[in-house]
Amino acid sequence: MKPKTIAIAFYEETGATELARAAAALAGHHGAHLLGLFVMPEIVRNAQLSIHVPPEVLHHARAEHVRVSEQIETQFYEAARREDVRSEWRNIDPDEDQTMADALLDSARAADLVLLGQPAPELRTAGQLHETVIRNVGRPVLIVPHKEIGDGLHRSAVIGWSPTREATRATFDTTGLLDAGARIRLLHVGRPDGRDLAEGPLNAMAEALARHGFDVTVSYREPHAEKIVDVIEHEAAEHGGDFIATGAFGHSRAYDFIIGAVSWDLMTTAERPVLFSK
């Protein structure tokens, strides 16, 4: 299903221009409605937090966030006008018992696609917002790096495949962003067994996508000493993928925290947009 409502969630100035332009270009290509969302941070309106902050500091923080919201709103509407797309802007001031993510989820669930800017690897708090949205919004989430993304996201994609619910959702969420006849590369990172090479679920998925008219290639790569995220990135760069798609956070939060997760690495370090489905 092609996206007809695309939501962009803004939370900082960094990368806001590139994020707005990427979302507006997507909306223009698909004839979608563009929804801009800015959520006020917790410290500005949380009673338990703000009681320990001097009033003048709190006033300055709120004024600064209002300034940031207004500046991003201007960039958002400029990007929408440039692509001639329908658009609306919402400033979200959550209730005291809501987190930023909770408030964002309420507005984002009605969208076909949600866009967020890439969090910095060292800013775990910002990443927690992204992770919470991806885990709970029930919609595909596209993480966009802080740079221009080129000529669009509709010609080709590299899908990180595994035989899981999340990867299956990512595969079919990807088809909604691609044009007819677009190239899809289904990538499995790991050693395949004989059944995988002959009649495994990856080949069955390739055949299903080909019936929709896509140009599908299957690829197996062993990571050796490389991180899985580097193998996926290399595959996308080598074969010209407009974006990467993958199932997200297939393990529990505790597992991800202790062992580390491919989802986190892709979310914070990928050089191209990444579509996450949960």
As a whole number, the mean pLDDT across the chain is 86
**Same-domain status, 123 and 195:** no
Model confidence pLDDT, tens digit, residues 166-190: 999 999 999 999 999 999 999 998 8
Q: With 0.85 as the threshold, say if the pTM is over it.
A: yes
| Residue 81, domain extent | 5-144
Could you tell me if 15 and 124 lie in one domain? yes
Q: Say if residue 105 is in the same domain as residue 219.
A: no
| More confident site: 242 or 151 | 242
Q: How many CA atoms lie within 13 A of 93 on its CB side?
A: 6
For residue range 64-81, what is the model confidence (pLDDT) as tens digits? 888 999 999 999 999 999
Is pLDDT above 80 for 200?
A: no
CB atoms within 10 A of CB 181: 10
Cβ proximity of 144 and 266 under 8 Å: no
Average pLDDT value for residue range 179-206: 82
Of 144, 165, 190, which one is at a domain's C-terminal end? 144
Note whether residue 49 is domain-resident.
Answer: yes
Query: Coil, helix or strand for 115?
Result: strand
Q: Give me the pLDDT at residue 48, please.
A: 53
Same domain, 169 and 201: yes
Quick check: helix, strand or coil at residue 275? strand
Domain-embedded: residue 149: no
Q: Is the pLDDT of residue 97 over 50?
A: yes
Q: Give mean pLDDT, residues 87-98.
A: 85
Domain end position, chosen among 105, 124, 144: 144
Q: What are phi and psi of 99, to 5 degrees?
A: -85, 170
Confidence tier at 256 by pLDDT (50, 70, 90): very low
- 168 and 135 assigned to the same domain: no
In a domain, 55, yes or no: yes
Give yes or no: residues 127 and 212 share one domain: no
pLDDT at 260: 44
Q: Is the distance from CB of 162 to CB of 247 less than 8 angstroms? A: yes
User: Do 212 and 256 sit in the same domain of this protein?
Assistant: yes
Asked which of 64-68, 200-204, 225-229 is least confident by mean pLDDT, the reply is: 225-229
Same domain, 133 and 219: no
- Domain assignment present for 113: yes
Domain boundary among 89, 123, 144: 144
**Which letter does DSSP use for residue 119 in this model?**
P
pLDDT value at residue 259: 36
For residues 214 and 91, membership in a common domain is answered with: no
pLDDT at position 270 is 92
- Tell me: pLDDT of 42 over 70: no
- In terms of domains, do 166 and 82 share one? no
Residue 151 in domain: no
Helix axes 124-136, 262-269, angle to 10 degrees: 120
119 and 201 housed in the same domain: no
- Residue 186 has a CB neighbour count (10 Å cut-off) of 21
Confidence of residue 110 (pLDDT cuts 50, 70, 90): very high
Number of domains forming the structure of the chain: 2
Residue 134 belongs to domain with CATH number: 3.40.50.620
Position 150 in a domain: no
pLDDT band at residue 2 using 50, 70 and 90 as cut-offs:
very high
pLDDT at 52 over 70: no
pLDDT at residue 126 greater than cutoff 60: no
210 lies in some domain:
yes
194 has a pLDDT exceeding 70: no
Q: Do 85 and 23 reside in the same domain of the chain?
A: yes
Paired tokens of 257: 């925290």
Region 91-111 average pLDDT: 86
Assigned domain for 256 exists: yes
